Structure 1
Amino acid sequence: MRQRTELHPPGVPVATDPPRRRPFAQTFRSLGHRDYRLWAGAAVVSNTGTWMQRVAQDWLVLVDLTADSALAVGIVTGLQFLPMVLLAPWAGLIADRFEKRRILQVSQSLQGLLALGLGVLVIAGLAQVWHVYVFALALGVVTAFDAPARQTYVTSLVPPEDLPNAIGLNAATFHLGRLLGPASAGLLIAWVGSGPVFVLNAVSFGFTVVVLALTRSRSPGQGTQGLSGLERMRQAVQYVRTRGDILLVLVLVFVVGTFGLNFQLTTAVMARIEFDRGPESYGLLGTFLAVGSLTGALAAAGRRRARLRLVVGAVTGFGVASCVASLMPTYWSFAVSLVAVGLTALTLMTAANATVQLSTPPELRGRVMALYFAVFIGATPVGAPLIGWIAEAWGARWTIAVGGITALLAAVGAVVFLARRSTIEVRFRTDARPHVVMLTGPKGEGSDSSPHPTHDERVA
Structure 2
Amino acid sequence: MTKFRLAPAAPPHAQTPAPARQRVPLTQPLRHARYRRLWCANLVSNLGTWIQTFASAWLIASSSHSASTTTLVQTSTYIPVFLFALFAGVVADAVHRPQFLFFCNLFMAGCACTLAALVTTGHAPHAAVLAVLFCLGCGSAFMWPAWQAAMSGLVEPDEVEAAATLNNLSYNTAAILGPALGGVLFKWIGPGPLFLVNAVSFVGLLAVYRTWWREDGGRPRPCAGYGARLREGLATAFGCPRYRRILRNVATVFFATIAFAGLLPVFVRDVLRMDASVFGTLMGSLGGGAVVAAFCLPAIRARVDKTNILAGALAVYGAMLATMPFLHTLTLLIPLIVCGGMAWSAVVSTLNAAAQLSFPADVRARTLAIYLVVMAGGYTAGSLFWGRVADAWGVRCAMAAAGACVLVNAAVLVTGKRKNPI
- The normalised TM-score by structure 1 is 0.82
What number of residue pairs does the alignment pair up?
406
Contact 1:95/1:221, CA 8 A, preserved across alignment: no
Q: Which is strand-richer, 1 or 2? A: 1
Give the structure 2 partner of residue 104 of structure 1. 101
Moved more, 285-294 or 307-316: 307-316
Matched, 1:300 2:297: yes
Give the structure 2 partner of residue 412 of structure 1. 411
In 2, Cα distance between the equivalents of 1:331 and 1:294? 20
**DSSP 3-state at the match of 2:106:** helix
Give the structure 1 partner of residue 129 of structure 2. 132
Give the structure 1 partner of residue 237 of structure 2. 240
What is the CA deviation profile of residues 242-289 of structure 1, one whole-angstrom value per residue up to 9, with x for unaligned ones? 333222222222112112134332221111111111111110111111
In 2, Cα distance between the equivalents of 1:220 and 1:402? 51
> Given the superposition, is the C-alpha separation of residues 378 and 298 from structure 1 closer, same or farther in structure 2, using an over 3 Å criterion?
farther
**TM-aligned CA deviation for residue 236 of structure 1:** 2.2
> Given the superposition, is the C-alpha separation of residues 148 and 300 from structure 1 closer, same or farther in structure 2, using an over 3 Å criterion?
farther
**DSSP 3-state at the match of 1:125:** coil
Give structure 1 regions of 4+ aligned residues with deviation exceeding 6 angstroms.
none
Contact 2:70/2:266, CA 8 A, preserved across alignment: no
Contact 1:77/1:136, CA 8 A, preserved across alignment: no
What is the CA deviation profile of residues 186-211 of structure 1, one whole-angstrom value per residue up to 9, with x for unaligned ones? 11102111110000000001221112
In 1, Cα distance between the equivalents of 2:16 and 2:80? 45
**TM-aligned CA deviation for residue 160 of structure 1:** 2.7
Contact 1:85/1:375, CA 8 A, preserved across alignment: yes
**TM-aligned CA deviation for residue 29 of structure 1:** 1.4
Give the structure 2 partner of residue 94 of structure 1. 91
User: Please, which of 248, 252, 261 is the counterpart of residue 249 of structure 2?
Assistant: 252
Give the structure 1 partner of residue 208 of structure 2. 211
Pairing 1:34-113 to 2, within 5 Å after superposition: 34-63=33-62, 66-113=63-110
Matched, 1:161 2:153: no
Q: 2:202 corresponds to which letter in structure 1?
A: F
User: Please, which of 137, 152, 176 is the counterpart of residue 179 of structure 1?
Assistant: 176
Contact 1:74/1:388, CA 8 A, preserved across alignment: yes
List runs of 5+ in structure 2 lacking aligned partners. 1-10
Contact 2:307/2:417, CA 8 A, preserved across alignment: no
Give the structure 2 partner of residue 346 of structure 1. 345
In 1, Cα distance between the equivalents of 2:228 and 2:305? 31
Matched, 1:394 2:356: no
Contact 1:175/1:293, CA 8 A, preserved across alignment: yes
Q: 1:72 corresponds to which letter in structure 2?
A: T
Give the structure 1 partner of residue 111 of structure 2. 114
**TM-aligned CA deviation for residue 5 of structure 1:** 8.4
Q: 2:196 corresponds to which letter in structure 1?
A: V
- The normalised TM-score by structure 2 is 0.89
**DSSP 3-state at the match of 1:240:** helix
User: Please, which of 196, 200, 204 is the counterpart of residue 199 of structure 1?
Assistant: 196
What is the CA deviation profile of residues 44-76 of structure 1, one whole-angstrom value per residue up to 9, with x for unaligned ones? 10001000000100111111xx33322112123
Q: 2:355 corresponds to which letter in structure 1?
A: V
Q: 2:380 corresponds to which letter in structure 1?
A: P
In 2, Cα distance between the equivalents of 1:221 and 1:166? 26
In 1, Cα distance between the equivalents of 2:116 and 2:261? 19
**TM-aligned CA deviation for residue 149 of structure 1:** 1.0
Contact 1:49/1:204, CA 8 A, preserved across alignment: yes
Q: 2:228 corresponds to which letter in structure 1?
A: E
> Given the superposition, is the C-alpha separation of residues 328 and 220 from structure 1 closer, same or farther in structure 2, using an over 3 Å criterion?
farther
User: Please, which of 263, 268, 293 is the counterpart of residue 265 of structure 2?
Assistant: 268
In 2, Cα distance between the equivalents of 1:54 and 1:188? 14
Moved more, 192-201 or 120-129: 120-129
**TM-aligned CA deviation for residue 221 of structure 1:** 6.4
> Given the superposition, is the C-alpha separation of residues 264 and 319 from structure 1 closer, same or farther in structure 2, using an over 3 Å criterion?
closer
> Given the superposition, is the C-alpha separation of residues 61 and 181 from structure 1 closer, same or farther in structure 2, using an over 3 Å criterion?
same
**TM-aligned CA deviation for residue 220 of structure 1:** 6.7
Among the aligned pairs, what percent are the same residue?
A: 27
Q: Cα RMSD over matched residues?
A: 2.4
In 2, Cα distance between the equivalents of 1:307 and 1:198? 38
Give the structure 2 partner of residue 403 of structure 1. 402
In 1, Cα distance between the equivalents of 2:256 and 2:375? 11
In 2, Cα distance between the equivalents of 1:220 and 1:350? 31
**DSSP 3-state at the match of 2:249:** helix
> Given the superposition, is the C-alpha separation of residues 222 and 412 from structure 1 closer, same or farther in structure 2, using an over 3 Å criterion?
farther
Contact 1:74/1:386, CA 8 A, preserved across alignment: no
> Given the superposition, is the C-alpha separation of residues 197 and 117 from structure 1 closer, same or farther in structure 2, using an over 3 Å criterion?
same
**DSSP 3-state at the match of 1:127:** coil
In 1, Cα distance between the equivalents of 2:286 and 2:219? 37
Contact 1:316/1:407, CA 8 A, preserved across alignment: yes
What is the CA deviation profile of residues 283-340 of structure 1, one whole-angstrom value per residue up to 9, with x for unaligned ones? 0111111111112233335645962332233222322232223322323312221111
**TM-aligned CA deviation for residue 127 of structure 1:** 1.0
> Given the superposition, is the C-alpha separation of residues 186 and 139 from structure 1 closer, same or farther in structure 2, using an over 3 Å criterion?
same
In 2, Cα distance between the equivalents of 1:350 and 1:169? 9
> Given the superposition, is the C-alpha separation of residues 234 and 416 from structure 1 closer, same or farther in structure 2, using an over 3 Å criterion?
farther
What is the CA deviation profile of residues 152-171 of structure 1, one whole-angstrom value per residue up to 9, with x for unaligned ones? 11133223332222121011
**TM-aligned CA deviation for residue 222 of structure 1:** 4.9
Q: 1:411 corresponds to which letter in structure 2?
A: A
In 1, Cα distance between the equivalents of 2:219 and 2:180? 39
Q: 1:75 corresponds to which letter in structure 2?
A: L
Q: 1:139 corresponds to which letter in structure 2?
A: L
Q: 1:343 corresponds to which letter in structure 2?
A: M
In 2, Cα distance between the equivalents of 1:403 and 1:250? 19
Q: Which is helix-richer, 1 or 2? A: 2
In 1, Cα distance between the equivalents of 2:117 and 2:98? 29
Contact 2:258/2:383, CA 8 A, preserved across alignment: no
